[in-house]
Amino acid sequence: MEQINEAYLWADMIVFASPMFWGTVTGQLKTAVDRLYAVQNRLGYFSDASMKETAFIMTARGGYYKQALDFYSIFTNILEWKNWGTMLGAGKENEARELGASIH
């Protein structure tokens, strides 16, 4: 977690990437994000130091993404992070490359 915290502090952009488990992100990703709460709280939620840009990538078959998108909306809506977009589903390698190329 120390490595994640350090990377989080200097990163301008956070890309959340996860396979779908039971309609949402993995427990491992959720745990890491939950543990970042203390870092974010220390920075101040709307300070310049806590502002990030973000994107969300989830590999999954099917079309039920509501829980996962609710998880992601915390960062884009509540924390007012700039959302570069989402890539949801399987077999979207070309679209993922386009998303990556659009981020600068």
Say yes or no to pLDDT of 6 above 80: yes
Are 52 and 58 in contact by the 8 Å Cβ rule? The answer is: no
Q: What is the β-pairing status of strands 53-59 and 13-19?
A: parallel
Task: Please tell me whether residue 38 adopts helix, strand or coil conformation.
Answer: helix
* Averaged pLDDT for residues 55-59: 91
Q: Read off the pLDDT band of 94 (50, 70, 90).
A: confident
Examine the pLDDT at 54 and tell me if it is beyond 80.
yes
The alpha carbons of the chain give a radius of gyration, in whole angstroms, of 14
Q: Is domain 2-102 classified as CATH 3.40.50.720?
A: no
